[in-house]
Amino acid sequence: MDAEKLRQLEALQYTIPPVCGLCVSAFFYQNDALFGSCQSHHYSHVKHTGPTRPLSICRIGVASCAFFELDPTVMAKLGGFSRFVDTPQKIEAGSLPDRIRARDNDISRACPHYDLRDCSPFCPDGAVCSKQPLQPL
């Protein structure tokens, strides 16, 4: 990875969360599919009879899952970006940037600014969410 790119990403406290798409248990019919299934979790469909089914998942979904294990093939595709993946163990140890922790702990999910389409998911600098102003990086 280019040294300047790395410096910029580190300055931004860039992280990649442990999403289902990084897990070895995830199965997607196509490489670019957004939805797939989890091979570690199954359910019985209420409308149908028969065997249990793998649980449907979204590639960018995050679950509290005891079966989460990084897929080495996917990690290899990430190349230099793999250093930014936050594993559940790193999260427990407190590796998430303070701003992300603050967002999850102090900002209500009902806040009108908590919208991935508009703020990705941070509010614009100076915006007020749940009566708490966010500070620029």
In a domain, 100, yes or no: no
Based on the structure, what is the number of domains in the chain? 1
Which regions of the chain does DSSP assign to beta strands (E)? 26-27, 35-43, 53-58, 128-129, 132-133
Residue 124 lies in a domain: no
Q: To which residue do tokens 């100076």 refer? A: 126
Which pLDDT value is given to residue 74? Answer: 92
**pTM score:** 0.60
Residues of the chain with pLDDT under 50: 95-124, 126, 128-137
Residue 96 forms part of a structural domain: no
Number of helical H runs and strand E runs in the chain: 4, 5
Quick check: is 59 in a domain? yes
For residue 136, tell me if it sits in a domain: no
Domain that includes residue 40, residue range? 15-91
83 part of a folded domain: yes
Q: What pLDDT is attached to residue 23?
A: 94
Burial class from Cβ neighbours inside 10 Å (0-12, 13-18, 19+) for residue 103 reads buried
Position 62 in a domain: yes
